[in-house]
A and B are shown apart, each in its own frame.
Chain A
């Protein structure tokens, strides 16, 4: 434990140094900008971000979604707490990382908090992004906005930033709400490692929701009708969160090698199916969150008996868990970036005409 904390301390220090460096750079840039414009006025980018943020906050759509999410989360905590209380009486129950169970345990009636986030998060992302560009176009504000000195890429980047900021605020408040409620109900304080794991889980969730947000912004650039883009976004979301695993299951059964085959064949088949599964961002997210919230998860792929021999069934330290989900995280980030790149290229080529 001590070792872990020492490691953590070092890691935090590194983070600090990293955090300080860009901030000083940022100040430099801002200063240069201010000098250039002759006054301390925010750049158009931040003006748009500010406006978008306000618009989202005031919109009904966001209010409804946040209501659903908060209710779902409270329900899931209730379920988690009851299941924890039941197992608390049981002598054999594992008290290690009890706090994290708040996020992953369920009494069977309601899904866990992590499941709710993975299911409702994309919906928030889609709801915030599906009409980002096409509604501006159909309202005739896009042409007007871009006739002012605003870079086009700043416009979509500002839309994305504002929504992502909002998502960050929402997910962090939800995460901390769950933690606070948990503290009050089970009276079991989190260790620093557990706290960091929850924060990391929230960050991964932000990246995941950010991916869906970007995808829906891409649709909003591609489709002129807000309804079309919303439906495409929701269709993809349903496909990946419900049907994709079924389809992969079908393929798995269809291609499964006959019973008496070598380990190599079985392994390559399992790996192939895993690869198929990992094409879905929902799967990547679920892998990442399970690993982060359940330190007992030691591997995400198939392991042979030889590989497990001699392994001690103990929870992974934080660093190792992060290492394990690193590829998943990078995959999600890459998907987000790809969506943004495509939207950028598309938007730059589009002609800005009012309402056409």
Chain B
């Protein structure tokens, strides 16, 4: 089956298109994917994906390159046909009613492009008019959005002269100009400097809270998106291997039963290592004496304790009693990075 049949179909049935329902209350599912599968020849890009995204939440679709994130997004927008399974976006089937879905969903591709020899304002007005906004309104709205994303000063500049971060912000404005209910951002933080990322994510999260937008963003930069996502899904090789809030995922990992404690100290002795080893619950101690990087002074050692319970305070006492100078001690919190690595290690050994 190809796209044409459906788009043509959508056009033919334009007269009796399903009426767009008024915005559902928060908590209602906006995106529902059921056993969604896409195969290219022998390669399965997306494998029986089940996913529900509720109204007003910021959902992070995380995974390495080639995990099938973009394919999933394209299927949600009706730009690609699923091989099997179904997707529903705002209660509509994107493959059947591509146009209606596209009216409600704003999509920012991972490598967003603009007409380089036109100004940012022109680009936005063009988009607005594609969405059937009258000319005056289009201009007003474009100016308003440029203000919102902090590009008012560059409105009259050609997009060719924009920096990467400015393009991404223009992309956000481009997505918002149609007043969508859902915005889908594919790798929005790609290639922007850390400060730019922070601003961009702040902007996205503000928008979501203020306007009640549902946001789906895909990324392989985990710690960047973990700050703003309500829930995340880990996506590897076309499968969703974990789903939940960052805290929930961390808990799942902690259930494997180990706690990691990091100790930075100078004047380390073998006796200390033995003493730490002897502490109840400590499973292994590894000391790295040469870790004299910028942050650690000469003669300082970094020890990693893997324990079955939290021994932070006992370990600290032990270090001091042995005459070593304790610089820092911390219990490692699982961030998304660790979660990610864990799942990856699992994948490799599989």
- Interface residue ranges, A against B (CB under 8 Å): 36-37, 39-44, 47-48, 51, 55, 58, 139-141, 143-153, 344-345, 348-349, 351-355
Contact = CB atoms under 8 A, between A and B. Distances in A.
A41 B134 contact: yes
A109 to B, nearest CB: 40
18 contacts: A36-B14, A39-B132, A40-B134, A44-B131, A44-B132, A47-B126, A51-B126, A139-B116, A140-B109, A143-B79, A145-B130, A147-B77, A147-B102, A148-B178, A149-B132, A351-B74, A351-B80, A355-B111
B7 A152 contact: yes
Given A147-B102, A349-B2, A353-B70, A43 B132 contact: yes
A150 B4 contact: no
A149 B99 CA distance: 5
A223 to B, nearest CB: 19
Nearest to B174: A144
B235 interface: no
A43 B108 CA distance: 22
Contacts of A351: 74, 79-80
A344 B7 CA distance: 12
Contact of B110 (A36, A37, A152, A354): A354
Given A43-B132, A143-B109, A153-B7, 5 more contacts: A41-B129, A58-B117, A139-B114, A349-B2, A349-B3
A146 B79 contact: yes
Nearest to A345: B4
A354 B111 contact: yes
Which of A42, A140, A143 has most B Cβ within 10 Å?
A: A143
B107 interface: yes
Contacts of B3: 152, 348-349
Which of B2, B14, B129, B171 has most A Cβ within 10 Å?
A: B129
B109 A151 contact: no
B344 interface: no
A144 B130 contact: no
Given A51-B126, A143-B79, A144-B113, A344 B103 contact: no
Nearest to A344: B4
B130 A149 contact: yes
Contacts of B112: 140, 144, 354
Given A47-B126, A344-B4, A148 B102 contact: yes
A8 to B, nearest CB: 41
Nearest to B175: A147
A348 B80 CA distance: 10
A153 B114 CA distance: 21
Given A41-B129, A47-B129, A148-B131, A141 B77 contact: no
Nearest to B4: A348
Contacts of A147: 77, 79, 102, 105-107, 109
Contacts of B77: 147
B contact residues, range = 35 or more
Contacts of A43: 132
Contacts of B133: 41
B251 to A, nearest CB: 36
A348 B7 contact: yes
Nearest to A136: B113
A39 B134 contact: yes
Nearest to A51: B126
Interface string B12-45: 0010000000000000000000000000000000
Contacts of B135: 41
B4 A140 contact: no
Nearest to B110: A354
B83 interface: no
A152 B113 CA distance: 18
B290 interface: no
Contacts of B134: 39-41
Nearest to A152: B7
Interface string B50-62: 0000000000000
A89 B79 CA distance: 69
Interface in B71-109: 74, 77, 79-80, 99-100, 102-103, 105-109
Contacts of A348: 2-4, 7
Contacts of B116: 139
Contacts of B117: 55, 58
Contacts of B114: 139, 141, 144
Contacts of B127: 144, 148
Contacts of B103: 149
B11 interface: yes
Contact of A149 (B102, B108, B109, B113): B102
Nearest to A36: B14
A151 B113 contact: no
A143 B74 CA distance: 10
Nearest to A46: B129
A147 B185 CA distance: 12
Nearest to B133: A41
Nearest to B108: A144
A44 B130 contact: yes
B113 A354 contact: yes
Nearest to B104: A149
A340 B3 CA distance: 17
Nearest to A59: B117
Interface string B136-160: 0000000000000000000000000
Contacts of A39: 132, 134
Which of B77, B132, B174 has most A Cβ within 10 Å?
A: B132
A48 B114 CA distance: 14
Which of A140, A345, A349 has most B Cβ within 10 Å?
A: A140
Contacts of A40: 134
Nearest to B138: A41
B2 A148 contact: no
Given A47-B130, A351-B79, A140 B111 contact: yes
A148 B70 CA distance: 17
A20 to B, nearest CB: 27
B107 A149 contact: no
A141 B133 CA distance: 20
A133 to B, nearest CB: 13
Given A41-B129, A151-B7, A141 B2 contact: no
A150 B130 contact: yes
Q: Which 9 A-B pairs have the closest CB atoms?
A: A140-B113, A348-B4, A147-B107, A139-B113, A143-B109, A354-B109, A141-B113, A149-B102, A47-B129
